Amino acid sequence: MLEYLWIIPLLPLLGSAVNGLFGAKWPNKIVNGVAIGSTGLSFLCAVEAVREFFESGQVLFRKEFFTWIAAGNFRAGFDLQMDQLTVVMVLVVTGVGWLIHIYATGYMAHEGGYYRFFSYLNLFMFFMLILVLAANYVLLFVGWEGVGLASYLLIGFYFLKKSASDAGKKAFIVNRIGDFGFMLGMFLLFRAFRTLDFQTIFTSSTLQGWPVELSGHLGTLTFACLLIFMGACGKSAQLPLYVWLPDAMEGPTPVSALIHAATMVTAGVYVVARSHILFTHAPTAMLVVAIVGCATAFFAATIGLVQTDIKKVLAYSTVSQLGYMFLACGVGAFSAGIFHLMTHAFFKALLFLAAGSVIHAMGGEQDMNRMGGLSKKIRWTYGTMLVATFAITGIPFFAGFFSKDAILFGAFQSQTGGSVLYAFGLLTALLTSFYMFRLIFLTFNGRPRFDEHHVHVHESPWSMLGPLVILAVLSTIGGWFALPAFFQGPDHFANFLAPVFVGHESAEAAGEGAAYQLEMILAGVAVGTALIGLGVAYWLYLKRPEKADGLAKSMKPVYTTLLNKYYVDELYAAVVVKPLLWISANVLWKTADVAGIDGAVNGIASGTTAIGDGVRHTQSGNTRSYAVWVVVGALVVIAVVFFWPFGGKSVLGMVR
Amino acid sequence: MVPTNYYVILSAVLFGLGVFAFIFKRNIITIFMSIELMLNAVNLAFVAFSQALGKLDGQVFVLFVIVVAAAEAAVGLGIIILIARNRQTLNVERVNLLKL
């Protein structure tokens, strides 16, 4: 299988093409078969490839299938590679992707455009797999742009709804800003290394001999890393380019789960982790990554506190958790970042799917203020969502506990600004715990706040619950790779990724003595904050619901600021969108286009008409007036011949 | 011996008169005659140059012109008679049915 790595991305592409071209007339069952079959096969192929990878001694496998672009010494090929990092990504993408495909067959059963949905979803899988399997930046960028396209198509899936099509455009445009930086970063890397192949760059002697660009020394690598991080910011929804992700919730819920929580938005983290050798040569860029990640984590969490739309809360939670991952990368704990990426893929996909199940049960209602008391009516959804909430808030022995712990530990140990980063990380953990339990309590507990006669609450079909249960299991045990580390043993996950992240692993120290004690203390503190968040949420939303409103009233300015998401959208509208629209309307449209281009075209046309109008009168049909013109012409010719005014030679002379 | 200049100038004057009449007269017969005048002015120039250069080419041309003019006169007069019969006028300004 390893030799035929291209089959893994090809299968979803085939599924997409078949469904997209022929699916319109097929019944849903056949569309299901194609979509689930292609992704399921892709998952099996990935598992088999990973097995062979393990068997082959876990050394980087790399194969060039064909040359795509060749120009001079530059070569960009369809080259795929498999290493430990790819293993994690491929399994997450195909595995979680497959589960969500199954879920979507239940969720989308009554929607129009069924085949179109699955065609797009498979297309997304194809591009995402290209992204994680690519062995050079150019091919990675193909996947990078492709997932952006699929994301755009799926956010705007309900394209008749203006807000949905607007959200799709917003996502695409904001991503383009990041992609612009990414491309510049690639150009810079090409200039420095004369190639864009991962392996060649990372092992090149140029890089080995490259001085570490300490603070104050802003060299090529720092700029290249910052530009690549700009692309990552766009794709992974970090400050200041996060604005598209909350709006992306306009798409169907399986899309939110797959693309805007579990896989695509982690592409930025993946790229940073993949380029970790470059980043470690540029500590300034690392610091920027850490600060942006930490700021985003905190910032998004505060917005999440007050949102009432169940999917919006989860969207801001995603932005916040992505911030955690970047924080981990920024402080050099790359394996912790990837670990959190994986566990987050499990529990956030589960949260979104469970939220979708709730929305399904409520007949399309997304406002948590009109839910409540659902726990008894949809037990499975409640149970699985509770597991996911435990995982994300870091309750011990659920998946998120281990990964979040590793990140906070890494932040605490960081040389530059460690304590500040740790403090904000911990604060974010508190906020996370609060808003997640707020979500649970508002949705599932307390008294129903909807009309029970009109809303017929019903549990979802098993095609939806099955994936929920599997993901709940994964959210529970997904972090147990790191379990031995808890009892002073090895951290299997970090050790597994160690060949990729050679040389800078703080996690190894975790197993011994003082560092171990420190980690235990930090873990205890993190669990404590999570429990405080739980307690506050319980007190405010179950015990004394009236207190929550009172608190909101007494802190009205803060509350409205948070509710309006710090007015960032309004700020962007005023600073970027409005001026752009003004320039487009007044300069480009009314001046350049209407006056300039249209004016030139219309002017030539009306000028021709006017000349024709004037000359038309000479064509009178009167023979004698023609005779006049003949005479005039003859006289002119004679005059020119005999009285040539220019130079010594007459025309007559030239003729002779 | 009369100088060639004189013939050429006479020819130009006659030609000019012919053009003038062609443009400003309205009677078809007069216009027809002015065409004849122009032709004969050209004939005169031909003959004069032929004489001056001592070649016969000009004379030959003149004979051709006379023959063509005769044929033209025959056809032209036929047309004029038909116009006169059908339209009861010889004014060219009023022979403009095709324009309307």
Is residue A133 in some structural domain?
no
**Is A493 in the same domain as A370?**
yes
A192 contacts A223 by C-beta, under 8 angstroms: no
**DSSP state letter for A217:** -
Report chain A residues whose CB lies below 8 A from the CB of B98. 621
Question: Which two three-digit tokens encode residue A460?
Answer: 């979802």
For residue A356, pLDDT beyond 60: yes
Report chain B residues whose CB lies below 8 A from the CB of A624. 22-23, 31, 92
CB proximity A621 to B under 8 Å: yes
**Is A519 in the same domain as A577?**
no
Residues with Cβ within 8 Å of residue A18, at least 6 apart in sequence:
A34
**Is A168 in the same domain as A209?**
yes
For residue A227, pLDDT beyond 80: yes
CA B64 vs CA A495, B60, B69, B75: distances in Å: 115, 6, 8, 17
**Is A316 in the same domain as A418?**
yes
Could you give the angle at which helices A399-413 and A462-477 cross, rounded to 10 degrees?
40
Band of pLDDT at residue A656, cut at 50, 70 and 90: very low
**Is A483 in the same domain as A593?**
no
Q: Looking at residue A524, what is its pLDDT?
A: 87
Q: Looking at residue A451, what is its pLDDT?
A: 78
Band of pLDDT at residue A97, cut at 50, 70 and 90: very high
**Is A497 in the same domain as A616?**
no
A99 contacts A42 by C-beta, under 8 angstroms: no
Neighbours of A421 (CB within 10 A): 26
For residue A274, pLDDT beyond 70: yes
CB proximity A631 to B under 8 Å: yes
Taking CB atoms and an 8 Å limit, are B23 and A621 in contact across chains? Answer: no
**DSSP state letter for A445:** S
Q: Looking at residue A402, what is its pLDDT?
A: 87
Is residue A41 in some structural domain?
no
Q: Looking at residue A506, what is its pLDDT?
A: 46
Band of pLDDT at residue A563, cut at 50, 70 and 90: confident
Q: Looking at residue A348, what is its pLDDT?
A: 92
Is residue A232 in some structural domain?
yes
Chain A, chain B: beta-carbon pairs less than 8 Å apart: 15
Domain's final residue, options A502, A528, A563? A563
Band of pLDDT at residue A513, cut at 50, 70 and 90: low
Band of pLDDT at residue A600, cut at 50, 70 and 90: very high
**DSSP state letter for A107:** H
Q: Which amino acid is at A273?
A: A
**Is A248 in the same domain as A172?**
yes
State the nearest Cα–Cα gap between A646 and chain B, in angstroms: 27
For residue A652, pLDDT beyond 60: no
> Of all residues in chain A, what percent are helix, strand and coil, respectively (each to 5)?
75, 5, 20
**Is A242 in the same domain as A342?**
yes
Q: Looking at residue A556, what is its pLDDT?
A: 82
Question: Which among A507, A488, A486 is positioned nearest to A496, based on CA atoms?
Answer: A507
Domain's final residue, options A563, A597, A624? A563
Q: Looking at chain B, which residue has its C-alpha nearest residue A628?
A: B23
Taking CB atoms and an 8 Å limit, are A621 and B22 in contact across chains? Answer: no
Query: Residue for token digits 């297309």?
Result: A123
Band of pLDDT at residue A417, cut at 50, 70 and 90: confident
Taking CB atoms and an 8 Å limit, are A624 and B19 in contact across chains? Answer: no
Q: Looking at chain A, which residue has its C-alpha nearest residue B93?
A: A622
DSSP string, A58-77: SPPEEEEEEEEEEETTEEEE
Is residue A49 in some structural domain?
no
Q: In B, what residues contact A, Cβ < 8 A?
A: 19, 22-23, 31, 92, 96, 98-99
Taking CB atoms and an 8 Å limit, are B23 and A624 in contact across chains? Answer: yes
Is residue A218 in some structural domain?
yes
Taking CB atoms and an 8 Å limit, are B92 and A621 in contact across chains? Answer: no
Task: Specify the number of domains making up chain A.
Answer: 2
Q: Which of A621, A622, A627 sits opposite B22 (nearest CB)?
A: A627
Report chain B residues whose CB lies below 8 A from the CB of A627. 19, 22-23
**Is A591 in the same domain as A553?**
no
Give the whole-number percent of chain A exceeding pLDDT 90: 34
| Euclidean distance between CA atoms A496 and A335, whole angstroms | 9
Residues with Cβ within 8 Å of residue A392, at least 6 apart in sequence:
A317, A321, A344, A347, A348, A351, A400, A432, A436
For residue A510, pLDDT beyond 70: no
Neighbours of A182 (CB within 10 A): 26
More confident residue, A320 or A491: A320
State the nearest Cα–Cα gap between B18 and chain A, in angstroms: 12
| Euclidean distance between CA atoms B42 and B37, whole angstroms | 9
State pLDDT tens for residues A299-321: 999 998 888 889 999 999 999 99
**DSSP state letter for A494:** H
**Mean pLDDT for the stretch of residues A165-182:** 91
Q: Looking at residue A511, what is its pLDDT?
A: 47
Exposed, middle or buried: residue A23 (CB in 10 Å: 0-12, 13-18, 19+)? buried
| Euclidean distance between CA atoms A494 and A496, whole angstroms | 5
For residue A242, pLDDT beyond 60: yes
Query: Residue for token digits 């002779």?
Result: A656
**Is A553 in the same domain as A574?**
no
**DSSP state letter for A564:** T
Q: Looking at residue A560, what is its pLDDT?
A: 83
Tell me how long chain A is. 656
Q: Looking at chain A, which residue has its C-alpha nearest residue B28?
A: A624
Domain's final residue, options A513, A537, A563? A563
How do strand A61-71 and strand A74-82 relate by DSSP bridges? antiparallel
* Beta-bridge partner residues of A63: A80
| Euclidean distance between CA atoms A298 and A429, whole angstroms | 9
Taking CB atoms and an 8 Å limit, are A621 and B98 in contact across chains? Answer: yes
A185 contacts A228 by C-beta, under 8 angstroms: yes
Mean residue pLDDT across chain A? 86
C-alpha angle A605/A608/A611, rounded to 5°? 150
Question: Which among A353, A311, A350, A309 is positioned nearest to A104, based on CA atoms?
Answer: A353
A482 contacts A492 by C-beta, under 8 angstroms: yes
Backbone CA torsion sign across A481, A483, A486, A488:
negative
More confident residue, A644 or A568: A568
**DSSP state letter for A461:** P
Question: Which two three-digit tokens encode residue A566?
Answer: 């710090």
Q: Looking at chain A, which residue has its C-alpha nearest residue B19?
A: A631
State pLDDT tens for residues A427-471: 999 999 999 999 998 888 888 888 777 777 888 888 888 989 999
State pLDDT tens for residues A521-559: 888 888 888 889 888 888 888 877 777 777 777 888 888
Q: Looking at residue A648, what is its pLDDT?
A: 54
For residue A485, pLDDT beyond 80: no
Question: Which among A376, A393, A378, A534 is positioned nearest to A468, based on CA atoms?
Answer: A378
| Euclidean distance between CA atoms A295 and A356, whole angstroms | 29
Is residue A412 in some structural domain?
yes
Domain segments of chain B: what residues? 4-99
CATH of B4-99 among 3.40.50.460, 3.20.20.80, 1.10.287.3510, 3.30.360.10: 1.10.287.3510
H/E stretch holding A80 reads: strand A74-82
**Mean pLDDT for the stretch of residues B27-37:** 92
Question: Which range has the worst mean pLDDT, A114-123, A160-169, A444-453, A482-491?
Answer: A482-491
Q: Looking at residue A418, what is its pLDDT?
A: 75
Band of pLDDT at residue A647, cut at 50, 70 and 90: low
**Mean pLDDT for the stretch of residues A283-310:** 90
Band of pLDDT at residue A626, cut at 50, 70 and 90: confident
Q: Looking at residue A411, what is its pLDDT?
A: 87
Tell me if residue A618 falls in helix, strand or coil: coil
| Cis preceding-peptide flag for A490 (omega within 30 of 0) | no
CA B45 to chain centre: 14
Is residue A46 in some structural domain?
no
Q: Which domain does A622 fall in, by range?
A: 569-655
| Euclidean distance between CA atoms A351 and A387, whole angstroms | 9
**Is A465 in the same domain as A578?**
no
**Is A277 in the same domain as A349?**
yes
Is residue A531 in some structural domain?
yes
For residue A519, pLDDT beyond 90: no
State the nearest Cα–Cα gap between A645 and chain B, in angstroms: 24
A274 contacts A196 by C-beta, under 8 angstroms: no
